[in-house]
Each structure stands twice: as C-alpha cells, then as structure tokens.
Structure 1
C-alpha cells in the first residue's frame, strides 16, 4: 500500500511553516500543512509561535525603516564621505 503524499512528518511540517512565512508555499504545501496541524498539537503550536515571532520581527523592521532621522543620517554620511574625497 502506498503512503498518502498529503501526510507529512513533523520535520517536513516545520519546513512548510517556514515556507508559509516566506510566502513561498504551494497549494499542495498548504494542504499538507493544514492536514498535519489538524492532527499534531506540537506543530500547531510551532506554527502559531513562528507566525507571532515573524510578525514581531517584521513590525520592528518596519519601525526601524520609518525612523524619521534615517534620511537626515543618510545625508550626513554622504556629506562626510564627499568631504573626504
């Protein structure tokens, strides 16, 4: 009897979680992850925690990119580099 290709191991499920967070998960991968997390509490927890951590990190990245002084700092650095020439 053949194994069901939609059922994956916990190791494979963690890879699918990471692909999902990167936005690189195929339709089959979505189905595999949904089926696995429906029956595996540990991987459900991993998915939930990874999603939360990813959101926090993306939020911090957005905050640092929107810092009001970043443009002024960039201008000062460019000015100093030009003065050194």
Structure 2
C-alpha cells in the first residue's frame, strides 16, 4: 500500500471511530509509515492524534546503523607490505 492510500484509509478510520466516540485517540502506525518523514506525513494528512512507533523507532534505526558501520569496515583500505 502506498502512503497516499494508507493516509486515506487512516482518515476513514478516524472519521468512523469519532462518529462513535468523538473523544477517541487515534494513532497512525505501520505500513508505509516507516520513518520520521512518513510518520509526520501520516499525522499531517489525517485527523490522527499522533504516531505509534514500533520497529521504525527501535529495530530499523539500529539495523541501518549496523549496516552502515559494517559497510565502512568492509571498505577499509589495508596497507600491504
């Protein structure tokens, strides 16, 4: 699902939930909402109250950091005699 479709679906959920309980707290989470920029888009483009981070706030940044440092080690120059 692309981000535009996902935000449209979130907005439908917001409206449906608030038609039953206007005070319900709605969060976006998952799918294409995978980093700060897409999370920001999800709350800016809907009536959601916030973003519930999971893997995008814990596992994925750690994985990306490990991949990057591993790449740097792999590309080190070794002086040979």
TM range (shorter): 0.3 to 0.5
TM-score normalised over the length of structure 2: 0.40
Structure having the larger proportion of residues in strand: 2
Greater C-alpha Rg = 1
Structure having the larger proportion of residues in helix: 1
